[in-house]
């Protein structure tokens, strides 16, 4: 019996003339994501992507887990595939789902016949396949609403597909179809979630992180690498740019009014991020900011931050509560790593009473009194380190940290 993964398109199916571009991007994502799961063929027909194992070594379970994280897919199923012949369908359904049927009480069969040359119509196929399964499992009862198992049979161009209920996919649009952006990642809860949210809307991402050794440790840095790796299951492989930020940060600490420190630092980070983003072809910045979460995320502070540079700043969490963000972080799998204790460069040197309503004029005045800042920012940008983040990499740089 042959098993295949079927992935059904969501919002993408509504795209008009561009649909084929979206489908090609989705196929590319899928091929890439199952690359290390064995020999699979990925193809598309009738708004569905088929991920078909080509030999016995192919790891269908691993591929299924991968496919469940690919954006652009509304729902997915693992199906048994067989010839479009009623007797074969019955035998395949029993072989594939018999074990499950033995352990439950109620079921129903649903059929979808998109190949209209198949001689039985859907209601008849439902009825007859249901009767066959009942004959094999007399303890079962047919229940139309909320059965323990819904058996689906789909008669399509390439064969008959038999499966249980479809499971929800990751949704959204295929990564890369909406352009590329640079995500500012901190090691906190928010920024890995922000990256996930934007990737879900079709953005390809790289990450940028500011580290200030020796104030921030190797563990903090490894934690960020680990977060980017977890996100990579969704976003695909990418690069994490780590900026050595100690000198600009010390300079701001030593030369600016402390109540303005955080906003000045955030503007400085944005300028560096902007410079690197443009070098690597990113068209926007992404942050995990959420309105009024902290002093640097008031409207006035955000206005000052935005004015520091000229790329669009995407803030997908701006209207989200912390609980909503935490729930998403748990779902994505970043939460446990994010809550490990660490020192981020945003949490060092912070004044006890930052100004919550800074004006752009006073910020610019403070920057005018730091003549060497831009030079230090340029040097930091030039010394940026590139860390390749590969999807599916097993090594856990935090292994001893968590031990």
Torsion (CA) 361, 366, 370, 373 in degrees, nearest 10? -70
Min CB(368)–ligand ATP separation in Å: 24
- In degrees, rounded to 5, the angle at the alpha carbon of residue 360 between the alpha carbons of residues 343 and 285 is 55
Interface residue with ligand ATP among 49, 346, 366, 376 (CB under 6 A) is 346
Token pair for 147:
């059965």
Is 106 in a helix, a strand, or coil?
strand
Q: How far is the CB of 185 from Mg ion (least distance, A)?
A: 12
**Residue 186 binding ligand ATP, by CB under 6 A:** yes
Does residue number 189 form part of the binding site for ligand ATP (CB under 6 A)? yes
Among 190, 231, 367, 377, which residue sits at the site for ligand ATP (rule: CB under 6 A)? Answer: 190
Decide whether 133 or 345 has the Cβ nearer to ligand ATP. Answer: 345
Closest contact distance (angstroms) between CB of 75 and ligand ATP is 31
**Residue reference for tokens 């609980």:** 323
With binding defined as CB under 6 A, does residue 313 bind ligand ATP?
no
**Euclidean distance between CA atoms 120 and 88, whole angstroms:** 14
Residue nearest to ligand ATP according to CB distances in the complex: 188
Of all residues in the shown chain, the one whose CB is closest to Mg ion is 190
Give whole-number Cα distances, 20 to 11, 47, 309, 399, in Å: 13, 10, 35, 43
**Whole-number minimum distance, CB 234 to ligand ATP, in Å?**
17
CB of 104 to ligand ATP, least distance (A): 43
By beta-carbon proximity to Mg ion, the closer residue of 239 and 327 is 327
The answer to whether residue 188 forms part of the interface with ligand ATP (CB under 6 A) is yes
User: Whole-number minimum distance, CB 290 to Mg ion, in Å?
Assistant: 6
Greatest alpha-carbon span in the chain: 86
Q: Are 43 and 34 in contact (CB under 8 A)?
A: no
**Site of tokens 């072809």:** 281
Phi–psi pair at 113, nearest 5 degrees: -115, 95
State the Cα torsion 83-86-91-97 to the nearest 10°.
90
With contacts defined by CB under 6 A, name the span among 42-50, 169-177, 182-190, 358-366 that binds ligand ATP.
182-190
Selected binder of ligand ATP within 29, 191, 249, 320 (CB under 6 A): 191
Closest CA to 113 of 84, 149, 91: 84
| Contact between 203 and ligand ATP per CB under 6 A | no
Give the per-residue contact string, 271-290, with ligand ATP (x = CB under 6 A; - = no): ----------------xxx-
Does residue number 185 form part of the binding site for ligand ATP (CB under 6 A)?
A: yes
Q: What, of ligand ATP, Mg ion, none, does residue 106 touch, CB below 5 to 8 Å by kind?
A: none
Q: Is 334 in the site for ligand ATP (CB under 6 A)?
A: no
Taking CB under 5 A as the rule, does residue 344 contact Mg ion? Answer: no
Question: What span, in angstroms and rounded, lies between the C-alpha atoms of 373 and 345?
Answer: 17
**Minimum CB distance to ligand ATP smaller for 268 or for 287:** 287
Tell me the angle at which helices 60-67 and 19-33 cross, rounded to the nearest 10 degrees. 140
| Residue 184 binds: one of Mg ion, ligand ATP, none (C-beta under 5 to 8 A by kind) | ligand ATP
User: ∠250-256-257 over CA atoms, to 5°?
Assistant: 125
- Among Mg ion, ligand ATP, none, partner that 34 touches (CB below 5 to 8 angstroms by kind): none
What is the closest distance, in whole angstroms, from the C-beta atom of residue 210 to ligand ATP in the complex? 4
**240: CB partners within 8 A, 6+ apart:** 185, 206, 207, 208, 209, 224, 225, 228, 386, 387, 388, 389
Using CB under 5 A, which residues numbered 178 to 197 contact Mg ion?
190
Told to check if 210 binds ligand ATP by CB under 6 A, we report yes
Q: Where are the beta strands (DSSP E) in 164-229?
A: 167-171, 180-184, 204-211
Shortest distance (Å) from residue 287 CB to Mg ion = 9
How far is the C-alpha of 52 from the C-alpha of 55, rounded, in Å? 9
- Of 190 and 231, the one with the shorter C-beta distance to Mg ion is 190
Residues engaged in binding ligand ATP (CB under 6 A): 184-186, 188-191, 208-210, 287-289, 293-294, 344-346
Residues engaged in binding Mg ion (CB under 5 A): 190
């Amino acid at each position: 019996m042959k098993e295949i993964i079927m992935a059904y398109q969501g919002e993408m199916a509504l795209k008009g003339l561009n649909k084929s571009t979206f489908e090609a991007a989705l196929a590319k994502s899928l091929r890439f994501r199952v690359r290390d799961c064995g020999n699979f063929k990925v193809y598309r027909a009738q708004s569905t992507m088929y991920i078909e194992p080509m030999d016995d070594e192919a790891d269908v379970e691993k591929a299924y887990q991968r496919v469940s994280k690919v954006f652009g897919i509304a729902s997915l199923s693992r199906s048994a595939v067989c010839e479009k012949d009623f007797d074969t369908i019955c035998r395949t359904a029993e072989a594939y789902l018999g074990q499950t049927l033995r352990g439950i009480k109620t079921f129903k069969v649903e059929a979808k016949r998109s190949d209209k040359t198949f001689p039985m119509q859907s209601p008849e196929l439902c009825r007859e396949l249901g009767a066959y399964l009942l004959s094999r499992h007399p303890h079962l009862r047919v229940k139309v609403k909320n059965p323990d198992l819904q058996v689906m049979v789909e008669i399509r161009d390439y064969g008959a597909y038999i499966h249980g209920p479809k499971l929800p996919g990751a949704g959204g649009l295929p990564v890369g179809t909406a352009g590329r952006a640079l995500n500012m990642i901190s090691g906190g809860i928010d920024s890995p979630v922000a990256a996930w949210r934007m990737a879900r809307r079709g953005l390809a991402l790289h990450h940028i992180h500011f580290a200030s050794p020796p104030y921030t440790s190797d563990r903090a840095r490894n934690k960020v690498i680990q977060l980017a790796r977890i996100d990579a299951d969704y976003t695909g492989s990418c690069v994490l740019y780590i900026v050595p930020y100690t000198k600009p940060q010390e300079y701001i600490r030593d030369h600016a009014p402390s109540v303005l420190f955080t906003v000045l630092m955030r503007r400085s980070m944005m300028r560096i991020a902007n410079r690197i983003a443009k070098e690597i072809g990113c068209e926007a910045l992404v942050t995990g900011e959420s309105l009024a979460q902290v002093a640097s995320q008031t409207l006035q502070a955000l206005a000052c931050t935005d004015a520091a540079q000229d790329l669009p700043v995407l803030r997908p969490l701006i209207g989200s509560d912390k609980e909503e963000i935490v729930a998403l972080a748990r779902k994505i799998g970043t939460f446990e790593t994010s809550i490990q204790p660490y020192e981020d460069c945003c949490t060092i040197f912070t004044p006890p009473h930052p100004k919550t309503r800074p004006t752009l004029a006073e910020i610019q005045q403070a920057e005018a009194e730091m003549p060497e800042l831009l030079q230090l920012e340029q040097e930091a940008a030039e010394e940026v380190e590139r860390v390749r983040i590969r999807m599916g990499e097993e090594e856990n740089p935090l292994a001893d940290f968590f031990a």
